[in-house]
Amino acid sequence: MKRTYQSLAACCMLLLNACYKDHGNYEYDLAEQITVTGINSDYDKVSLVDRITLDPQVSSSDPQAEFSCWWGIYETNVQGSAPKVDTIGRTKALDYLVTQPAKGWVLVFGAKNLHTGVSKIVTARVNVITQFTRGWYVMKHSGGQTDVDLFLTPSGIAPGSDKMENVFSLVNGRKLDGSARLFGYYTNYKSDVTGMMANTKGLFILSDKDVSVVNLNTFKEIRGFSSLFYETPAVKRPGSISEGSSANYLVNDGHLHSIYSMSANVGMFGGVQLRDDNNSPYRLSDYFLTYYSGNPFFFDETSCSFVSATGTGSVLSSVTDAAGSEMPANHNNKALLFMGVRATNPYTGIALFRDKTDAGLKILSTITPENYVLKLVNDTLDAAEKLYQAQRYGLIVADESILYFSVGNEIWSRNLANGAEQLQFTVPAGETVTFIRHRKYAGSATLELPYYFNYMLIGTESGGQYKVRAFRKSSGNLNANPDFVLEGEGSVGDVIYIAPSINNYTYLNSY
């Protein structure tokens, strides 16, 4: 019965429609059709490297069409608010350097017919990626300011043709004050760049007047000097950044600050650690001796004494002498000219001292720490030895027992076991040596083999331009020619190679 009623209702509707006659007279103009071609649906772009270069074709069914055009870009997956479109162009053709951080974005093109007011909008997905996590970073200074260049290494450890100049200021809109000093890279640095407090790939950039820690994925500053401390120091004079057992250490204006890394933290350094319970004055040298699982050691220039520290303490730790030590760790009347890590197993350092009473007395010491006890074994230098005249230093870590150093435009080596010195390289006339550093990367997977290296890096400056020569070595001797040369504007303070698998255990902090 139900089906019968449904059939009758349908018939009635058909009859009603058949009886209705439309006596109106209508004329319709076809809607304007605007066509845009030459824009793909997807693009992959490397931030601060690639450009979006497009010149689409725009046509209309309106024969009198005249177009005004614009381009915009906005972030996808914005929660809690409508996405904000940033205008990046007001012409039909677009040539835009991608500066957005690595994530998903939407490119928008708009064309408006000024004759009719009709518009056409076309969008494309832009996947912004980054190459900040692989390449040679060179910290350099020029005109009293510090910046960073990045040499990309797409297929092997030797850089390709792509180079990103002044990447710090390009991303952050400013340079650091002062002269370039030291990099520090820690994958366990805490920040909230992902929306929650978590380990972050943090690259510290130290000049002698400023400091910044950047997110390596974007090179955007996480914290600058004014936000890096719970109590911002009155004087900006960073000396060193390092990692010791359970903590990160930052020396500023000769005073020690720390972050205890074995518990929750927000990536900010605590207050100044006191010299002792009497709050005696002290000033730490910029040179230090530490590695990620060993106690840190610093040299107090005020008292001519070694000190250590913990990440949780408010007072520096005292250091005592081991049996057989040939120099006291405290009140030894010495000025520290250089100190660095020689090896981690056994934990060993090398230091060069000058006596404060007899300025002609220079001593090369091998330092063996055990907890808070130091053993120093001395080698008094003769004025005729090349090391006696050294100006820059670079210690090989964990390979041969050799110290490299510069005398004028010559690079020398000294065998720390027998004192033998040998000329390794002569810098071309007109170039000044500014930097010597041993960097070694053994990788962590077979896929990283093209990026393994073991280099002595020699930095020079001439006429406001730098060169960094990367030398392989055999039994401690440098090859006659470098594998490659990094070149740019300024004077080099430090160089570091970054790859996805490099972490805070790859390199030992040292000058």
Domains, the chain, in order of start with CATH, read 34-129 (2.60.40.10)
Least confident of 73-77, 152-156, 177-181, 318-322: 73-77
pLDDT of residue 494: 98
Contact in structure between 353 and 328 (CB atoms under 8 Å) = no
pLDDT of residue 138: 98
311 vs 258: CA distance, rounded Å: 6
Q: CA neighbours within 13 Å on the CB side: how many for 347?
A: 20
For the segment 448-499, what is each residue's pLDDT rounded down to a tens digit? 889 999 999 999 999 999 999 999 999 999 999 999 999 999 999 999 999 8
Q: Does residue 338 surpass a pLDDT of 60?
A: yes
CA torsion angle for 306, 302, 248, 397 (degrees, to 10)?
A: -50
Least confident of 64-68, 341-345, 432-436: 341-345
195 vs 157: CA distance, rounded Å: 34
Q: Does residue 122 surpass a pLDDT of 80?
A: yes
Total count of residues recorded for the chain = 511
pLDDT of residue 447: 62
Q: Quote the mean pLDDT of the chain.
A: 91
Closest CA to 39 of 90, 87, 110, 88: 110
Q: 483-507 as b/e, with b when 16 or more CB fall inside 10 Å?
A: ebebebebbbbbbbbbbeebbbebb
For the segment 35-62, what is each residue's pLDDT rounded down to a tens digit? 999 999 999 888 888 999 999 999 999 9
For the segment 149-170, what is each residue's pLDDT rounded down to a tens digit? 999 998 899 999 989 999 999 9
**Chain position carrying tokens 């902090």:** 509
pLDDT of residue 229: 98
H/E segment holding residue 19: helix 2-19
For the segment 250-288, what is each residue's pLDDT rounded down to a tens digit? 999 999 999 998 888 999 999 999 999 999 999 999 999
Closest CA to 493 of 142, 133, 165: 142
DSSP string, 197-215: -EEEEEEEEEESS-EEEEE
pLDDT level of residue 23 (50, 70, 90 thresholds): very low
pLDDT level of residue 7 (50, 70, 90 thresholds): very low
208 vs 435: CA distance, rounded Å: 15
Closest CA to 100 of 82, 111, 85, 90: 85
Beta strands in 399-490 (DSSP E): 402-407, 410-415, 421-426, 432-441, 453-462, 465-471, 473-474, 477-478, 484-489
188 vs 203: CA distance, rounded Å: 11
Q: Does residue 4 surpass a pLDDT of 50?
A: no
Beta strands in 77-197 (DSSP E): 86-89, 94-97, 103-113, 119-129, 135-142, 145-151, 163-164, 176-177, 180-191
Q: Does residue 3 surpass a pLDDT of 80?
A: no
Q: Does residue 402 surpass a pLDDT of 70?
A: yes
pLDDT level of residue 397 (50, 70, 90 thresholds): confident
Contact in structure between 230 and 221 (CB atoms under 8 Å) = no
Least confident of 14-18, 20-24, 149-153, 177-181: 14-18
- Residues 211-238: what's their mean pLDDT? 96
